[in-house]
Amino acid sequence: MSKGLPKRSEDYSLWYNELVKKADLAENSAVRGCMVIKPYGYSIWEKMQAEIDRMFKETGHTNAYFPLFIPKSYLSKEADHVDGFAKECAVVTHYRLKNDEEGNGVVVDPEAKLEEELIVRPTSETIIWSTYKNWVQSYRDLPIMVNQWANVVRWEMRTRFFLRTTEFLWQEGHTAHATKQEAIDESVQMMNVYASFAEDFMAVPVVKGIKSESERFAGAIETYCIEALMQDGKALQAGTSHFLGQNFAKAFDVKFANREGGQDYVWGTSWGVSTRLMGALIMAHSDDQGLVLPPKLAPIQVVIVPIYKGEDQLNAISEKADGIIKALRAVGVSVKFDGRDTYKPGFKFAEWELKGVPVRIAIGPKDMENNSVEIARRDTGVKETFSLENDLTEKIQGLMEEIQNAIYQKAQDFRTENTRSVETYEEFKEVLENEGGFISAHWDGTAETEEKIKNETKATIRCIPIDAVEEEGKCIYTGKPSKVRALFAKAY
């Protein structure tokens, strides 16, 4: 088929872009920085959403919906928050268009100017905390455990499919608690939920950790995160969970009567993952032939391609396929039969490879004679002839699990190989230059040093891993004493 991809080794960035377009995941729209998520791409996102939403509900959360627009003045109520978001938000100033008298089509009606401009939410802490003020009077009203699935807008100058777009889809959880510890526990819990989702469903191993001050969310006391490593050795922040302290409660005056009869400010958290996860999924596993999808998130898990000459052969193969399809669907495997007569088998093979379908079953005349099928794995490319004397359903179910695990293992091996400890700044720069990946290094804990390293090398601190062990060391940059290693990398 003509849809050749660039090679990862030659131009990783171009490979990614072309893959997204050719596998029908997304495309650019007429609006700068906004993409169209195409049906195939969206069906993967839906599978992600369903699992994540289930995990949220199992941990006691419910969904709600808050307005798209936020009064401009709300943004400035939390000082750090406004600094973080004012520079990149879309502003609604008018509410009507009108026909231009000079005949130039429609123009903005100057008479329909808003008294206070509205911003399109870049994140919803402010509008949500202004609402929580009405929901909370006493400790009996706490905790509030709410999530919303929504679109948000952050005006981006340089965009990239899924990883950075002006509009993106996400979920944002916003919880309110009576005590500090409860809020911290919730932030940690949600980081763990994200990590489980990434590892168990996306098959992407992640490092759980805490952000340094300069990478922290604007308005948070602590930002927990999960960080993944892509095949080009760059890191990708896949989800964050923020302990907000009482910052937003104070900004919006959200107090409650505590058990002791006094008044306290409420403790908050917020946490989110977005369509960025699609970028992580694509980049973590795919190869020069196209997408490689973990079975648990593949919209089509098995594709059946008939190889035939003439209608009689097709009919016989279709009939055989029907039985297979029914049996597989009965155990929850999603199957597609590609009976299109406008394309040749080779074209179809390449197309389903491009789209990352985990298992392909081909049935040709020889298979019909021998009562067999050919099974091909997308992740390894390994093919085998399988006799239908044996239980195909069991075989496929086993394969689904095997592939899911194999993809994860491969990504984990890659990460292990590409996580290095260094002791000096020279070594640091050398590894970063030649190998990339995660670099574990001592750092003196100051934003100043972090900034200098970033300016000189483009590497940032991805996180201080949760499981980092205390050890005496010296900052690679300043030589000052350090007790724990940070994880550095160039990042998306």
CA dist 287 and 203 (Å) reads 15
Using CB under 8 A as the binding rule, the residues of this chain from 98 to 157 that contact a second copy are 98-99, 105-106, 108, 117-120, 127, 130-131, 134, 140, 146, 150-151, 153, 155
Using CB under 8 A as the binding rule, whether residue 29 contacts a second copy is answered as yes
CA distances from 289 to 3, 18, 360, 381 (A): 10, 11, 14, 10
Q: Is 92 in the site for a second copy (CB under 8 A)?
A: yes
Least distance in angstroms from the C-beta of 76 to a second copy: 4
Q: Please state the closest distance from residue 169 (CB atom) to a second copy, in A.
A: 7
Q: Counting contacts by CB under 8 A, is residue 64 touching a second copy?
A: yes
- Between 138 and 421, CB nearer to a second copy: 138
- Residues sharing a CB contact under 8 Å with residue 4, sequence separation 6 or more, in sequence order: none
User: Of the two residues 120 and 476, which places its CB atom closer to a second copy in the complex?
Assistant: 120
The C-alpha atoms of residue 403 and residue 377 are separated, in whole angstroms, by 8
Binding region for a second copy (CB under 8 A) out of 79-87, 303-311, 313-321, 382-390:
79-87
Q: How far is the C-alpha of 414 from the C-alpha of 21, rounded, in Å?
A: 26
Distances from the Cα of 335 to the Cα of 124, 275, 379, 446, angstroms: 39, 25, 17, 54
Pairing of strands 263-265, 267-274: unpaired
Strands (E), 121-203: 144-153, 167-177
One of 5, 15, 19, 42 touching a second copy (CB under 8 A): 42
Of the pair 167, 444, the CB lying nearest a second copy is at 167
Cβ-based nearer residue to a second copy, 110 or 319? 110
Nearer to a second copy, 1 or 108 (CB): 108
Per DSSP, helices labelled H in 157-198 are 180-196
Which CB, 19 or 119, lies closer to a second copy? 119
* 238, 277 contact by CB (below 8 A): yes
d(CA 80, CA 267): 17
User: Would you call the peptide bond into 345 cis, given omega within 30 degrees of 0 as the criterion?
Assistant: no
Does residue number 277 form part of the binding site for a second copy (CB under 8 A)? no
Window 163-182: residues binding a second copy (CB under 8 A):
167, 169
User: What is the SS3 assignment for 54?
Assistant: helix
Quick check: 207 and 227 in contact, CB under 8 A?
yes
**Interaction between residue 37 and a second copy (CB under 8 A):** yes
Q: What are the residue ranges of helices labelled H in 214-271?
A: 247-251
For a second copy, the binding residue among 51, 55, 59, 66 (CB under 8 A) is 66
Distance of CA 381 to the CA centre of its chain: 26
Nearest approach in angstroms of CB 44 to a second copy is: 11
Among 3, 14, 60, 76, binds a second copy (CB under 8 A): 76
C-alpha–C-alpha distance, residues 377 and 298, integer Å: 13
Q: Residue 230: name the closest of 211, 208, 206 by CA.
A: 206
CB of 99 to a second copy, least distance (A): 7
Kindly state the tokens that stand for 432: 């970063």
- The yes or no reply on residue 251 touching a second copy (CB under 8 A) is no
- The least distance separating a second copy from the CB of residue 471, rounded to whole angstroms, comes to 43
Smallest gap from Cβ 392 to a second copy, in A, equals: 26
Residues that bind a second copy (CB under 8 A): 27, 29-31, 34-39, 41-43, 45-46, 62-76, 82, 86-99, 105-106, 108, 117-120, 127, 130-131, 134, 140, 146, 150-151, 153, 155, 167, 169, 342
